[in-house]
Amino acid sequence: MNNATDVLVVGAGVVGLAHAVEALERGLTVTVVERDGRAVGASIRNFGHACVTGQSGDLAELAHLARERWLDLDGRAGLGARATGGLAVARHATELAVLEELAAARPDDVVLRTAGQVRAELPAAAPTTWWAAPPS
Ligand SMILES: Cc1cc2nc3c(=O)[nH]c(=O)nc-3n(C[C@H](O)[C@H](O)[C@H](O)COP(=O)(O)OP(=O)(O)OC[C@H]3O[C@@H](n4cnc5c(N)ncnc54)[C@H](O)[C@@H]3O)c2cc1C
């Protein structure tokens, strides 16, 4: 039996599998070792929210590259990811100030919406809340 492999990945969570995919696409042989019958770690239990908007500088560039990569992998694996953007609620003037600063710095990524605008789209939203959201 030949156990030779270029890359040995321990753990079939998202980090391990991401490394496995990248290695395979570089023509390397990969073996993934997982202690459980199937991966049941953090990658299975998380909220499934991938947010790139909160990053800045070099990390923002990396996050946008990663976003394209994950959407490509999602399309190939049929996981059903939805690139819908996100809503962040401001429940206090201080929180609103942070969102206003973010919207001013990132006009292509973030727009402020009033409670009324959000309520028109999401009837369950609270009546006196301001929101920041990516442009639709
Ligand atoms: C409740 C919750 C919500 C989260 N929500 C989000 C979110 O919305 N967005 C986001 O980006 N991140 C979120 N995260 C964080 C994200 O899920 C983790 O950062 C990510 O899944 C970590 O991936 P991983 O591959 O490192 O770990 P894991 O998914 O835990 O994978 C590690 C794997 O390694 C295996 N393993 C460990 N030791 C060994 C060994 N000795 N031999 C063989 N196998 C081994 C484990 O069985 C496991 O399958 C959340 C996390 C939690 C817990």
pLDDT at 121: 79
Q: How far apart are CA 46 and CA 58, in angstroms?
A: 25
State the distance from the centre of ligand 1 to the C-alpha of 43, rounded, in angstroms: 4
Q: Looking at ligand 1, which residue's alpha carbon is closest to its atom 40?
A: 35
pLDDT at 103: 93
pLDDT at 131: 57
pLDDT in tens, the chain (136 residues): 578 999 999 999 999 999 999 999 999 999 999 999 988 999 999 988 888 888 888 998 999 999 999 999 999 999 899 888 888 889 899 999 999 999 998 888 899 998 888 888 777 766 655 556 655 4
* 39 in contact with ligand 1, CB cutoff 6 A: yes
State the distance from the centre of ligand 1 to the C-alpha of 72, rounded, in angstroms: 21
pTM over 0.85: no
pLDDT at 39: 82
pLDDT at 85: 84
- The pick from 35, 44, 74 for probing ligand 1's pocket by mutation, whose C-beta has the most ligand atoms within 8 angstroms, reads 35
Q: How far apart are CA 103 and CA 114, in angstroms?
A: 13
| Cβ 101 vs Cβ 84: under 8 Å | no
* 8 in contact with ligand 1, CB cutoff 6 A: no
pLDDT at 128: 57
